[in-house]
Amino acid sequence: MAGHFEPLPGGGAAIALDEVEISILRSLAVQLVELVGPGEEPVEGDDPLAALFSEGPSEPPSDPALARLFPDAYGGPEREPDEEARRASAEFRRFTENDLRARKRDDAIAVIRSLDALAAGDGAAALELTPDESRQWLGTLNDLRLAIGTRLEVTDEEDGGELYRLPDADPRKPMVLAYLWLGELQQTLVETLMP
C-alpha cells in the first residue's frame, strides 16, 4: 500500500503516507484552497431561493492556473472564440462558476481534514477513504495537477518527457517532482474506483 492507493473491500481506497508526504499533500491542498478563493457566494443565512439563483462572474479568471481550473464552456484553448462563443461562455460561467468553485474548495478542505486526522500520529499512517471521500481526493488531486501543470507550462504529453530530464539545480524541480507524484497518486486512485 505504500506510495499508492489500493481498493478497500466494499469500496473506497487506502494508502500509507509518511509524515513528509502528509505535510506536502496538506500544504498543496491549502494552497489550492487559497488559489480557488472564497468566490462570490451569498452570505450564510440569506434567502435560500435567492442563493440558488445568485450570479457569479462572467469573465474568465486572469490567473492562468485559475483559467485552467475554470475554463470557458464554449470554444477551446487552441482557437480564438467568436463573439457568440464568448457570450455563451460568459452566461454559462455566471451560473456555474460559484458552485464549481465551492465544490473544489470543499473537496480540498476534506483532503486537509483527513490529513490532519492522520498527522496526529507519528511516522507512517494508513489513510482509509470511503467512496465519497475517494471522489473528493480524486477531484483535488486532479485540480492540483492542473494548477501545477499550468505553472510548469505543461501543454501536452511531449512536455512530460522534458520534466523528467530537468537538472536537479533547476528551481522548477520540486514542483516537477510534486506534479509527477500527484499523477501517480491520481492514477492509482482512479484504478481503485474502477469496477
User: What is residue 61's predicted lDDT score, i.e. its pLDDT?
Assistant: 85
User: What is residue 1's predicted lDDT score, i.e. its pLDDT?
Assistant: 42
Domain locations along the chain:
6-43+98-193
**Predicted confidence pLDDT, tens digits, the chain (195 residues):** 457 999 999 889 999 999 999 999 999 999 999 999 875 555 555 555 555 555 767 687 889 999 899 888 886 656 666 788 888 888 888 888 889 999 999 999 999 999 999 866 667 789 999 999 999 999 999 999 999 999 998 876 555 677 778 888 999 999 999 999 999 999 999 999 887
DSSP assignment of 84-123, as one string? HHHHHHHHHHHHHHHHHHHHHHHHHHHHHHHHHHHHTSSS
User: What is residue 10's predicted lDDT score, i.e. its pLDDT?
Assistant: 87
Tell me the whole-structure pTM to 2 decimals: 0.85
User: What is residue 69's predicted lDDT score, i.e. its pLDDT?
Assistant: 92
Q: How far apart are CA 135 and CA 47, in angstroms?
A: 30
User: What is residue 185's predicted lDDT score, i.e. its pLDDT?
Assistant: 97
